[in-house]
Amino acid sequence: MSKCMALLSGLWTPELVWCLSNGPRRFSELRRDNPTITAKVLTGRLRDLEARGVLERNVLATSPPSVEYALTSLGRELLPAITSIVEVGSRLLLREASGKASEGVQPEQANMRTAPKRPSQQRTDLDAQME
Amino acid sequence: MSKCMALLSGLWTPELVWCLSNGPRRFSELRRDNPTITAKVLTGRLRDLEARGVLERNVLATSPPSVEYALTSLGRELLPAITSIVEVGSRLLLREASGKASEGVQPEQANMRTAPKRPSQQRTDLDAQME
DNA sequence: CAGTATCCTTGCGGATACTG
DNA sequence: CAGTATCCGCAAGGATACTG
């Protein structure tokens, strides 16, 4: 679970995948796309993503040498997921900007002696979706 | 971009959302679901997610008092995205387990004097999808 | 039960300088 | 151009103890 989400962990990681979403891109191009990232961090993230199989590194024999980074097919499969998170995310951020409506306070029933027991949850509906 | 992905940032955050995916759950239940999380971190993540509008905190007037956490409607919209990332993630992890096939080495053409110029990329195909 | 309060460590990311 | 090498600060998490 966390292992899988760790695919996109690390600062700048989503941006980099995003930048590669419409074609390969070189090291210096990625630097220009994200002006405030440092070379060290950029190399780090690219190496991580390469190790995880999200992108491929391709050295071109130009002079001076240039290096291209491109999403793999599995890397490309992450794009829809990213967009949907961003979609929800921006709605959430908008909600924060305009004063948070409805601080809901419903008057729960009092005086029940013990709280209800629930099973310790082995399967979730998400597990079901997975198969 | 990173702001939106930060919704699910923080260790344990995806697990917690996952645990709430099939209904509300109490503090101690969440602790049992993730045996190695500490109370401090659990409270922290829950407060974060509440502030971000992903879940709601609901104090029940039982004795002893119990607190229920439940996903909001927007929180629930994150679930499909999470599952698709996990989907790709597990395929990636499998690939690592069984020796990584095809370390592709294609013989790129040499001796071109300069590398190709590409535009500095203002819009991506993902931006197009968003509208 | 559902948390706070404190302390302490690790490591991520930024800044800066240098290289094949 | 496409990186590596160091140093540093700080915040996120873990461990542990205590509370209404």
Query: What would the mean pLDDT of B27-31 be, rounded to a whole number?
Result: 98
The sign of the dihedral angle between the CA atoms of B29, B34, B38, B43 is negative
Strand partners, A71: A55
Taking 60 as the threshold, does the pLDDT of residue A31 lie above it? yes
Task: Tell me if A14 and B32 make a contact (CB, 8 A cut-off).
Answer: no
What mean pLDDT do residues B18-41 have?
97
Confidence of residue A26 (pLDDT cuts 50, 70, 90): very high
Residue B35 pLDDT: 96
Question: B120 is written with which tokens?
Answer: 């500095």
The structural domain count of chain A equals: 1
Is the pLDDT at A129 greater than 70? The verdict is no
A21 touches B126 (CB < 8 A): yes
Retrieve residue A59's tokens. 């050295």
Instruction: Measure CA to C1' and name the residue nearest C5.
Output: B40
Per-residue model confidence (pLDDT) at position B84? 94
| Three-class secondary structure of residue B31 per DSSP | helix
> Above pLDDT 70, what percent of chain B?
79
Beta carbon of B11 within 7 Å of strand D? yes
Q: Tell me the residue range of the domain where B7 lies.
A: 2-130
- Between chain A and chain B, the number of residue pairs with CB atoms below 8 A apart is 196
Q: Residue B1: what pLDDT? A: 84
B74 touches strand D (CB under 7 A): no
Q: Phi and psi for B2 in degrees, rounded to 5? A: -60, -35
Q: State how far the Cα of A58 lies from the Cα of B108, in Å rounded to an integer.
A: 9
Q: Dihedral sign, CA of B19, A74, B94, A7?
A: negative
Closest Cα of chain B to A111: distance in Å? 6
**Dihedral angle sign, alpha carbons of residues B80, A24, B126, B9:** positive
pLDDT at position A93 is 86
At B37-95, the pLDDT tens digits run 999 999 999 999 999 999 999 999 988 899 999 999 999 999 999 999 999 999 988 88
Buried b / exposed e across B32-69, counting CB within 10 Å, b at 16+? ebeeebeeeebeebbebbeebbbbbebebebeeebbbb
Question: How far: A99 CA to D13 C1' (Å)?
Answer: 32
Q: Which residues contact A7 (CB under 8 A, 6 or more apart)?
A: A52, A54, A78, B85, B88, B89, B92
Q: What is the pLDDT of residue A105?
A: 53
**Higher-confidence residue: B115 or A103?**
B115
- The residue whose two tokens read 């890397």 is A75
Q: What is the pLDDT of residue B105?
A: 52
What is the strand order of the sheet A25-26 is part of?
A25-26, A66-71, A55-60
pLDDT in tens, A36-64: 999 999 999 999 999 999 999 999 998 88
pLDDT at B108 over 90: no
Give the model's confidence band at A123: pLDDT under 50 very low, under 70 low, under 90 confident, else very high. Answer: low
Note the pLDDT of residue B54: 97
What's A101's domain CATH number?
1.10.10.10
Any bridge partners for residue A70, and if so which?
A56
pTM for this model (two decimals): 0.87
Q: What percent of chain A has pLDDT over 70?
A: 79
d(CA B30, CA B32): 5
Q: Write out which nucleotides of chain D lie closer than 7 A to a protein Cβ.
A: 1-6, 12-17, 20
Segment A85-98, tens digit of pLDDT? 999 999 998 887 77
